[in-house]
Amino acid sequence: MIRFHNTLSRKLEDFVPIVTGKAGMYNCGPTVYSSQHIGNYRAYGFTDLLRRFVEQQGSRSRR
């Protein structure tokens, strides 16, 4: 099970997919104004890690 901090309710909530057994994610690319650095790739690294964790827990990710 995975829990996320909901910034709207300010509570820790269990992740429950809308469709049982399938988890969808959306993430956009970085906005780079200057030379690239490791911080620009943080979003990609996190979403990849999250997708792999969700799949390991038994849900199929939708890309």
pLDDT at 63 over 60: no
**What's the pTM?**
0.68
Cβ proximity of 14 and 5 under 8 Å: no
The predicted structure's pLDDT at residue 5: 94
Q: State pLDDT tens for residues 3-53.
A: 999 999 999 999 888 888 888 888 877 777 777 778 778 888 888 898 898
Name the pairing type of β-strands 22-24 and 60-62: parallel
Residues 14 and 6: their CA atoms lie apart, in Å, by 10
Helix (H) or strand (E) holding 52: helix 42-56
